[in-house]
Amino acid sequence: MNNRRWLLAAIATTALLATAQPPTNPSDTTAAPKNQFSIDLQFLGRGEARYGGMPEAPVETNDEEGTESSVPTSNFVLSRTRLPIHFTRDWLEALVTPQHSGVWGQAGKGGFNLHEAWVKMTTRFGMFAQVGRVALNYDDERIIGSDDWAMASSSHDILRLGYEGHGHKAHVILAYNQNANVMAAGGSIYKDGGQPYKTMHTAWYHYDLPRFPLGASLLFMNIGMQSALENNPDRTWFQHLAGGYTSFTPKHWKAEGAYYKQFGKNEHGIKIDAWMASAKVTYLPTSRFSVTAGYDYLSGDKYFAVPTGHNIGMVLHDVIKGFSTVYGSHHQFYGAMDFFYVSAYHHGFTPGLQNAYIGGSFSPLKNMKVDASYHYFAIATDLTDMHKTLGHEIEFQAGYAISRDVSVSAGASFMWGGETMERLKRSTSKNSLRWGYITLVVTPRIFSTKW
């Protein structure tokens, strides 16, 4: 983003803050407390047992029949601890959330950072300004989400301006990232930083129809990526995303749909022409039971991708057709085993994805919920000597709230992969992919006061 745009953003923010604080009445001694302060504890621990649940390097074993490879079982425990510190006063709000996450026994004792650290100022007219590190969640979190399943989760260093009121929500997000080691030298190259992009400009608008169960959103993103070309490392390439999401929730039903188009150029300066579409329908005959069916389609490439300038593998790519899911909460969309868009294909190849699924949810007890689902996975492109079918996955999950502050959940997934899965993921365990987990979540409020 150039200096003029930043200047305009600063002027807009200043004008907004000038009207932020509402008028006060010094003689009003019966008003409710204006200051609220709280400290919470959020602990999440998850144990996982995995056999082929992610593509892992084969282990060579020798036996009487010769050498063969197999994928070993991997068992581990993950944990995350957060300490949200929250303050509100009239038009001012602030949140600071220190976070520690890692694997039990990890060298270096895991990672410690600030998951969120922001201040927010709101006017009496519904306008607001927020600045700092923010966990973003929009619509169904397919494109922008906090990805809370991952222990470290995700957040963005941004300035967000917006308006919310009368069924309308409009947000503008501005981000510009830099490395401290090149900042002092006046450099403009951003690599290996805390964010995956150098700049991000996002506009989001949502409207809920009055007296009718329909809501719709429009999203536009302009993402600036640092050039990966050795002969032009200072350049920023811009890739764009435009599309929308809608939900219709009449009695006992919920229908959702989304479409997004990607264009512009990637970090190698190659043109992008990709898209995705999704549809999902949920039937809720009672508050304790639901049935869901849906379909996702994400466009893909036809060739293996090994970026070296404008050359990818042995094929000169004029256009990249593989859709990027950008900064969404990927785990909840494309199968619990995270084979797709969390872990990459061999050599970063992106043949796209078709995901057809059906499932159900049941609450046998007041504080208990049980889910089961089936996924059919296929690639979106026609590859030479390969079938489109990747495999079939069955998932089971159950959760129980022991108390207001304590809950446990567990799940298991089984996948039967085909030859295409084996060749693209380089996994020899295509017919025996298994994964399971058990999670404990504890979220007590430690301290709270008002004055």
Q: What is the pLDDT of residues 381-395, one digit of tens each?
A: 988 778 899 999 999
Say whether pLDDT at 163 is over 50: yes
Query: Does residue 226 or residue 43 have the better pLDDT?
Result: 43
DSSP codes joined into one string, 283-326: EEEETTEEEEEEEEEE---SS---EETTEETTEE-SEE-PPP-T
Q: Residues 338-367: what's their mean pLDDT?
A: 86
> Of 316, 320, 275, 319, which Cα lies nearest the Cα of 297?
275
Q: Residues 111-137: what's their mean pLDDT?
A: 96
Poorest-pLDDT segment among 90-99, 119-128, 295-304: 295-304
d(CA 259, CA 115): 30
Question: Is 216 within a domain?
Answer: yes
Cβ proximity of 127 and 16 under 8 Å: yes
User: Which conformational region is residue 16 in: left (phi greater than 0), alpha (psi within -120 to 50 degrees), or beta?
Assistant: alpha
Question: Is 420 within a domain?
Answer: yes
pLDDT-based confidence at residue 254 (cuts at 50, 70, 90): very high
Side-chain-facing half-sphere of 242: CA atoms under 13 Å: 5
pLDDT-based confidence at residue 288 (cuts at 50, 70, 90): very high
pLDDT, averaged across the chain: 85
- CA end-to-end span of the chain: 42
Question: Is 32 within a domain?
Answer: no
What's the pLDDT score for residue 91? 94
For 201-228, what is each residue's pLDDT tens digit? 999 999 999 989 999 999 999 999 988 7
Lookup result for tokens 């084969």: 58
Question: Is 11 within a domain?
Answer: no
d(CA 23, CA 25): 7
Say whether pLDDT at 350 is over 90: no
pLDDT-based confidence at residue 58 (cuts at 50, 70, 90): very low
Poorest-pLDDT segment among 196-205, 342-351, 359-368: 342-351
pLDDT-based confidence at residue 4 (cuts at 50, 70, 90): low
DSSP category for residue 365: S
d(CA 375, CA 373): 7
What's the pLDDT score for residue 185? 52
What's the pLDDT score for residue 291? 98
What's the pLDDT score for residue 66? 37
Cβ proximity of 268 and 310 under 8 Å: yes
Cβ proximity of 111 and 98 under 8 Å: no
d(CA 426, CA 52): 11
Q: Which two tokens stand for residue 446?
A: 């430690």
Q: Residues 249-259: what's their mean pLDDT?
A: 96
pLDDT-based confidence at residue 114 (cuts at 50, 70, 90): very high
Number of independent structural domains in the chain: 1
Query: Does residue 199 or residue 64 have the better pLDDT?
Result: 199
d(CA 379, CA 183): 43
The pTM (predicted TM-score) of the whole model is 0.87
Cβ proximity of 41 and 83 under 8 Å: yes
Question: Is 2 within a domain?
Answer: no
For 136-145, what is each residue's pLDDT tens digit? 999 999 999 9
Question: Is 7 within a domain?
Answer: no
Say whether pLDDT at 396 is over 70: yes
Say whether pLDDT at 313 is over 90: no
Say whether pLDDT at 131 is over 60: yes
What's the pLDDT score for residue 235? 86
DSSP codes joined into one string, 343-399: SPPGGG----EEEEEEEEEE-SSTTEEEEEEEEEEE-SS--TT--SEEEEEEEEEEE
d(CA 59, CA 63): 13
Range of the domain at 137: 37-59+70-450
What's the pLDDT score for residue 44? 97
Q: Residues 420-432: what's their mean pLDDT?
A: 69
Question: Is 81 within a domain?
Answer: yes
Question: Tell me, what amino acid is at 223?
Answer: I
What's the pLDDT score for residue 429? 55
Q: Residues 313-342: what's their mean pLDDT?
A: 84
Share of the chain above pLDDT 70, in %: 81
Poorest-pLDDT segment among 56-70, 164-178, 415-429: 56-70
What's the pLDDT score for residue 292? 98
What's the pLDDT score for residue 422? 79
Question: Which CATH number goes with the domain that contains 366?
Answer: 2.40.160.100
Question: Is 382 within a domain?
Answer: yes
What's the pLDDT score for residue 16? 53
